[in-house]
Structures are given as structure tokens and as C-alpha cells.
Amino acid sequence: MKDEKLELVSGSGNVFRDLGRENADVEQLKALLATEIIKTLDRDELTVRAAHARTGFAAADFSRIRNADLGRFTADRLMSILNRLGARVEVKIRVKRIAAAHIPDQLRA
């Protein structure tokens, strides 16, 4: 292993894109929203049951969020949870064109 040359590759800033995931941007958004939910729960020292009492969302939802099991959530549902926890969500959209060579084969029309 000492003789192996390692190649350093810069990431795109989106781990899901770097892993070749089809809905990378949506997954990144959901992960960022979940992170903010977890920060709020930790800051306010809320258990999943207390979060349920405050928001009306199921305690199991908060357990799933804490475990990064986000498959059942849409981005707007996560935003609604944040709103009910007392946070305001602002979304800034920036669209960048990508070169055809960087588009995965399954996404080419």
C-alpha cells in the first residue's frame, strides 16, 4: 500500500451527485432540511415525543429523520416540519448548465 499512488478528486459539493444518484439535487435538499430539523431538535432539547406534541407530526417521523431514513419524505413535508418547529425556510435556486459529457447516460434524452 505504501507504493500505491492515490488520485485526489474534488467533489462537486453534492455527495449524491458524486455517487451518481439519479435525483441527487432532491436528495441533497432533503438531507439539508433534515439536518436543520435535527439541529432544532438538539438546540431545543426536544425528544421525538415532544417534537410530535409541538408539531403534530408523528414521533416516528422524527425518529426516521434522526436516522437519515428520508425515503418517505418529500422536500415540502420536511419544510413543513421545520415551519412547525418555528423556523422559516428560504430557498435560493441557482441553475447551472452542465456539459453534455458530464450528463450520466441514463439522463440523456
State the residue range of the domain holding 80.
Answer: 22-103
Q: Is 8 within a domain?
A: no
The pLDDT value given to residue 91: 87
pLDDT in tens, 3-47: 788 888 788 888 998 899 999 999 999 999 999 999 999 999 999
The pLDDT value given to residue 87: 93
Q: Is 7 within a domain?
A: no
Q: Is 10 within a domain?
A: no
pLDDT in tens, 67-81: 999 999 999 999 999
pTM value is 0.78
Q: Compute CA distances 87 → 6, 11, 37, 92, 104, whole Å.
A: 43, 30, 9, 16, 36
Using alpha carbons, select from 74, 11, 85, 73 the residue that is nearest to residue 44: 85
Q: Is 3 within a domain?
A: no
CATH code, domain with 38 = 1.10.260.40
Q: Where are the alpha helices (DSSP H) in the chain?
A: 15-18, 24-43, 48-55, 59-66, 75-84
The pLDDT value given to residue 81: 97
For 8, which DSSP code? P
- Give the CA dihedral 26, 31, 33, 36, nearest 10 degrees: -170
How many distinct structural domains can be found in the chain?
Answer: 1
Q: Is 108 within a domain?
A: no
